[in-house]
Amino acid sequence: MDKLFDIKNRVAVITGATGVLCGEMARELARRGAKVAVAGTTQERADKLADEINGMGGNAIGLAVNVLDKDSLIKARDKVMKAYGRVDILVNGAGGNNKAATVSPDLSFFDIPADALKWVFDLNILGTILTTQVFGEVMVKQGKGSIINISSMNSYRPLTNIVAYSAAKAGINNFTQWMAVHFSQKYSADIRVNAIAPGFFLTNQNRFLLVDEKTGEPTSRAKQILGHTPMGRYGTPEDLLGTLVWLASDASAFVTGVVVPVDGGFSAYSGV
């Protein structure tokens, strides 16, 4: 089993690495001996995480990347290839929601601006597709690799108010399945594409929905979420790491095209 889960000296690229969840993923892959390219929206934040990983004995470089700009992605790929010479693992973690694309007491569905909807769709779907194009090309030349997209439980059961994000993450699931088949049939069955669908994690992007800004208390929405999560708590970044390592390693060598819920039982509970 140790051999199956071994990812030592493999090269991982993680977009959205300066966020809470993907930052912990980067640290874990590095702890397990992978060489990690951490990509964020600014060089400063990416370098800060890379320095932290290197300081704990890992091997990391920081990349400033705009996942909606293919030239930016190609430049990042060139840096990774110069530093490490290959790409074994790609985590498409860049994504998020926009308050301007979320129904609220102050914003009805009918008034959500098109540019806010487009921003959410582009960041989550287009950003994942473009990144897979650029780094997946390296995997095709190698004949092997593991791509892990970050989806959401919203993709299975769309949540009220989060209109664009729910639809965008459903698109991620579809793209994951499509790409898994495409790579296997056209290029190599050893290039696998899967996704992780986190349940409810308290992050910067959803804090405004779950914590009352004035009191710091859970909102009514937060209470509903916890009431419909059989394990009775939010997830922590560490809860994603076992699934991440499984999908990144040869332990999942015959697994492709799946979306794995890590949700504390939320998707299994009917509410009664």
pLDDT tens for the chain, residues 1 to 272:
889 999 999 999 999 999 999 999 999 999 999 999 999 999 999 999 999 999 999 999 999 999 999 999 999 999 999 999 999 999 999 999 999 999 999 999 999 999 999 999 999 999 999 999 999 999 999 999 999 999 999 999 888 899 999 999 999 999 999 999 999 999 999 999 999 999 988 776 666 778 777 888 888 888 888 899 999 988 999 999 999 999 999 999 999 999 999 999 999 998 88
Q: Which two tokens stand for residue 45?
A: 């934040």
**C-alpha dihedral sign at 73, 7, 176, 228:** negative
pLDDT of 128 reads: 98
d(CA 200, CA 196): 13
Q: First-to-last CA distance in the chain?
A: 39
Residue with tokens 């916890």: 226
pLDDT of 132 reads: 98
* 165 is known as an active-site residue: yes
pLDDT of 10 reads: 98
pLDDT of 241 reads: 98
Tell me how crowded residue 178 is: count the other CB atoms within 10 A of its CB: 13
Catalytic residue among 165, 187, 234, 269: 165
Give the CATH number of domain 11-202+237-268: 3.40.50.720
pLDDT of 205 reads: 65
pLDDT of 174 reads: 98
DSSP secondary-structure letter at 126?
Answer: I
Are 7 and 248 within 8 A, CB to CB? yes
Q: Which two tokens stand for residue 170?
A: 């459903």
pLDDT of 214 reads: 83
CA 113 to chain centre: 26
Domain limits, the chain: 11-202+237-268
pLDDT of 222 reads: 86
Angle between helices 163-186 and 127-142 (to 10 degrees): 20
pLDDT of 33 reads: 98
Strand 35-40 with 59-64, pairing: parallel
